[in-house]
Structure 1
Amino acid sequence: MKARSPITITISLGICTVFGAYCLTKPQTANAEPAPMFKPILRDIQTQLPRGWLMRLPSSVNISDIQLYPQVITTIPGEFAVWLNSQLNCTSRSCQFGIITVAQNSTYDNNLRSQPIFTLKELERVNEIRRRGYENWTEADKRDLIRSEMAVLERTPITLKQGIEGLFVVQNSGGASTPPSLSVIWKQDGLNYRVSLGGGFDRDRNIVSQRDKSALINLAISMANESPIQNVR
């Protein structure tokens, strides 16, 4: 994807594919602290994280050609989040590259786990409807378009560490002007964790960017293997 610069994680592990699921091939040695890029917000996380919650961040994040700026967000109902932005103090969706969240009970994550898969055949029909233009849409076309919004396109089991299983999820966008998203969700510490990136799905060919998929899974693996951050209030 030309406009995006994926996150790549330096970690001592390999990824293999067995029956469509990702798995660890080497043990990983956990580091003691998050990546340096998170240092400016660590105190904010420690003081603003809800009491009893834990936050996990990756230990190493290597950026290819853009710099990401983390930003603590506490306004999402039921979640504590760190945005990964392409601009400092981002206030626009256009600079929101990705997000890391933790929640006790995430309605969004539960929906990703339970939503029926929107098939490739259905997605091809929706793309054909969009190409025809709205002036030619029938009522059935409009219903299919609405049903496709935020639909789950892929859900693949992955292993993040021994005893911690997650799901790699591809979710369609909420409209033609916004890209689909890639997410990894899992439960750990009695909490729900999610890391997501906007984009990573080629609409023209209906395929996931394997580069972005691997980068996101590596990011989640690093998070799951690192020591959590606690509230210090």
Structure 2
Amino acid sequence: MLALPLVMGAARGAIAAPDGFFSPYMAQIQEGLPAGFVMRLPAEVLLGGPASFAPEEMTVRILSSQAPPDLTVGLFTCTSGPMPCLVGSFSADRQGDPDAEAAYRRHVAAAAPLTLSGNIKGYLLEGGGDQPSPFSSLMWKQDSMIYTASFLASERQNLLRMAVSMANSPPIRPRARSAAAQ
């Protein structure tokens, strides 16, 4: 059973900017946004499941592609090593992108809708347990984008809270490019 009243109550109120945790990466995020893209990030990075990762212990990697266009902000517990250290990610793909639309349809088919904001509905695919992936992911459409927030299954409640925060936060727009850079 989903604890949505708690999630929704946590996000109501003033619209907040992305967590200060992202401040050192904001220019890189804005520069990595493909043409016509916007990105949303949570007002607060919430981590506290059994793994109990502290945001200040995280490494952020911005992965941007122009073909197909997308942007992913990944949170890691290491910079390199033999063991995977991805804790979670936030990504944006353009609506109409075939791969993103297929993933979105899988989410819609497998999950009941969750209200993230007004008429914005998200769909949660749970990971862990008997599932092949240790990650849960939540997808929704907004701003002509398909957003995905994906975190370790142990961070389920925090994933829900961060997705609500993202849907209610102002979008990050690309940095204005100078005429010389074009």
Instruction: Tell which deviates more after alignment, 53-62 or 104-113.
Output: 104-113
Q: Hey, what's the Cα distance between the residues in 2 that align with 1:161 and 1:36? A: 22
Counterparts in 2 of 1:91 and 1:158: CA distance versus 1, 3 Å: farther
Compared CA separation, residues 116 and 58, structure 1 to 2 (3 A): closer
SS of the residue 1:166 aligns to: strand
Amino acid at match of 1:216: L
1:112–1:169 CA contact under 8 A, matched in 2: no
In structure 2, do the counterparts of structure 1 residues 228 and 196 end up closer, same or farther at CA, with 3 Å as the change threshold? same
2:35 alignment partner, one of 40, 51, 70:
51
CA contact (8 A) 1:79 1:106 kept: no
One-letter code of the match for 2:15? A
Cα distance in 2 for residues equivalent to 1:44 and 1:69: 14
> Which residue of structure 2 aligns with residue 94 of structure 1?
84
C-alpha change, 1:62 and 1:184, in structure 2 (3 Å) is closer
Q: CA RMSD in A?
A: 3.1
How far residue 157 of structure 1 moved from its aligned partner, in angstroms, is: 0.9
Residue equivalent to 2:180: none
CA contact (8 A) 2:4 2:114 kept: no
Corresponding position: 1:110 with 2:101: yes
Residue of structure 1 equivalent to 2:45: 61
Q: 1:24 to 1:63 in 2, by over 3 A?
A: closer
| Residue aligning to 1:163 | 119
State whether residues 125 and 138 of structure 2, in contact with CA within 8 Å, keep that contact through their aligned partners in structure 1. yes
**Residue 225 of structure 1: aligned partner:** 168
Q: 1:90 to 1:99 in 2, by over 3 A?
A: farther
Unaligned runs of 5+ in 1: 1-13, 18-22, 118-151, 201-208
Q: Number of matched residues?
A: 164
Cα pair 1:109 1:185 within 8 Å, conserved:
no
Contact 2:33 2:70 in 1 (8 A): no
> What is the CA–CA distance in structure 2 between the aligned matches of 1:170 and 1:218, rounded to whole Å?
15
CA contact (8 A) 1:183 1:197 kept: yes
- 1:166 & 1:59 partners in 2: Cα distance? 18
Instruction: For 2:136 and 2:151, locate their aligned partners in 1 and report how far apart those are by CA, in whole Å.
Output: 5
Whether the 8 Å contact between 1:80 and 1:103 is mirrored in structure 2 is: yes
Structure 2 Cα separation of the partners of residues 106 and 53 of structure 1: 13
Are the structure 2 counterparts of residues 113 and 61 from structure 1 closer, same or farther at C-alpha, using a change threshold of 3 Å? closer
| 1:80 matches 2:71 | yes
TM-score, with length taken from structure 1: 0.60
Please report the TM-score for the alignment, with normalisation by the length of structure 2.
0.75
